[in-house]
Structures are given as structure tokens and as C-alpha cells.
Amino acid sequence: MNLKNIIDEYPNFPKKGILFRDISPILRNPAALSHVVDEFSKRFHTNDVDVLAGIESRGFPLACALSLKYNKGMMMIRKQGKLPGATVKKAYDIEYGKAIMEIQKNSIKKDQRVLICDDLLATGGTARAAAELVEKIGGKVTGFAFMVELTDLNGMKKLTKYRCESLVKY
């Protein structure tokens, strides 16, 4: 299945000069979403993953779908102030400034293997921060599953110590 034919493109969003690649049509298309899940399950064996982690917010549906396929739990990595209970925070740089993400301290057990999911890899700042949060609370990052990778932005350079898989490259 050619996912590029399904992904929508929005010029000048969220600001002038940006071409936004929208994976929403994949989520609305059961055959396309099933294809994405099947492709990632070929690349990351269920025995190598204990927990799926979704990065807010478009990583949530991917992590959830994979968690059902793998029969594993799912946890969320969210923007600051969105998670209850004790959390760990990480400040990081994004394309348009700075951001803070957090993870619940009790979301994974020590040495659990975590597959981190997101819709898109751009500069790698968000993904790197997510990995650092998982490791800070004792998890081991099995790898990253990205639906889309923007290769010109060199996000993989920030993730060289991790296994990264992307299904569509622009």
C-alpha cells in the first residue's frame, strides 16, 4: 500500500513556508491503519517490546493500535500539565521554540522495553526528549516507530543510538 497517496498535505500550516504532512486520513482508513500496524509488527517483534509509548498527540493512536496487536500495555508521553500524579519533566527544543514533555513516574517498571511511537520525525527533538524521559524512569528504549520521516530535517542524527523505523520518507 502506498501511504503517500493517503497522507494529506497542507501548505503554509502551521505557518507560512511549512508543508504539513497529515496522517489523519490513515487513521480514518481501516485498511491503511491495519497496513501500518502490520508493517511495524514485522519490524519490531512482540517479544522485544513490553510497553508501547505514544508521543502526544498523534503518536497515541499508533501506540494504542500496536499495543492491541502486541497484547501489551500502552502509556502516554504528554505536554506539561496534562498528566496526573507524580511525573518527570524534560525541556527540549522544537522547530518553533521550546517545549516541555512529561511522563508519569509509575508508567513503566525498571528495565521494561519501550517502543516509542509518533506520527512524524522532523528535527528529532521531541523523539530524543521522549527517549530520555523513558530512560530517566528506568525503561529501555527498544526503538522508535514513525509513520513519516522528513529526511531533510536530519532528525535521525539525534537518535543514532536507537533503532528507528519509518514507513514513509519525504
Q: Measured between alpha carbons, how far is 170 from 140 in angstroms, rounded to an integer? A: 29
Q: Catalytic pick from 21, 28, 43, 58? A: 58
For residue 126, what are the CA distances in angstroms to 90, 100, 112?
10, 9, 21
Residue 54 has what pLDDT?
Answer: 98
Is residue 87 a contact partner of residue 102, using CB atoms and an 8 Å limit?
A: yes
Cα–Cα nearest to 37, from 5, 57, 61, 73: 61
Does residue 58 carry a catalytic annotation?
Answer: yes
Beta strands in 12-163 (DSSP E): 19-22, 51-55, 73-79, 87-94, 97-104, 113-121, 140-149
Of 42, 41, 45, 79, nearest to 59 by C-alpha is 79
Q: What is the radius of gyration, based on Cα positions, of the chain?
A: 15
102 as an active site residue: the answer is: no
pLDDT of 156: 97
Name the catalytic one among 9, 28, 95, 135. Answer: 95
Cell numbers describing residue 149: 520521516
**Over its length of 170 residues, how does the chain's per-residue pLDDT go in tens digits?**
999 999 999 999 988 999 999 999 999 999 999 999 999 999 999 999 999 999 999 999 999 999 999 999 999 999 999 999 999 999 998 876 789 999 999 999 999 999 999 999 999 999 999 999 999 999 999 999 999 999 999 999 999 999 999 999 99
Q: Grid coordinates in use for 66?
A: 500496536
